[in-house]
Amino acid sequence: MNKAQIPKGAIAGANYTSDTRNYPWHRPPDFTALDDSLDYVVRDLAEGPDGFRYMSLLETGVNIVTITDIIVTKGIARGKWSADIALLLAGPVARLLSIMATGYDIKFDLGLDEKVRVTSPATFKELAGVAPEAVEAPVKETEESPEEQGFMAMASDDEQNSMLGYDAEDEEQEIDG
């Protein structure tokens, strides 16, 4: 074989024979129970410098939902817990952060408002106190009766029947037949 015939790039199937412990999230998680995971987060926030860092973020206007996302995603990346445990852990972590913020007399935003936030440089300037007005898209409010909720409620009866494959002639035959 000369150099021109040597394949370049990855060998097909090499990922199946390689060591799967290259990254922490490839290995089994350190914690598989919600209580153990929550104990780890509580210790980390209470005893380490992370608690003060997150409180500083709250003071600058970052909401609790964002900080909770940071904490649980960091745990997944470090192999502490799986994504399933992270979803279950999000609520207690958010509550813990709100209790800590209240204890430090920090006013905070939960991040559960109905406004649609636009992620742009203007939004970040506004959080830093540079821009005079907020950049937010208004939420369109519509009044709907309970019968008109759902996707199919937007289409008329004729459109719904055509989507389902019915014709007006088919309906008449069924009624007459």
The per-residue pLDDT for range 83-122, each reduced to its tens digit, is: 999 999 999 999 999 999 999 999 998 887 655 455 666 6
Q: Report how far residue 162's alpha carbon sits from residue 117's, in angstroms, rounded to the nearest whole number.
A: 38
Domain ranges of the chain: 23-110, 112-141
pLDDT at 151 over 80: no
Q: Which pLDDT value is given to residue 25?
A: 73
| pLDDT classification of 74: cutoffs 50, 70, 90 | very high
Residues 27 and 79 sit within 8 Å (Cβ to Cβ)? yes
Q: Which pLDDT value is given to residue 130?
A: 61
Q: Which pLDDT value is given to residue 147?
A: 53
Residues 96 and 41 sit within 8 Å (Cβ to Cβ)? yes
Q: pLDDT: is 60 or 130 the higher one?
A: 60
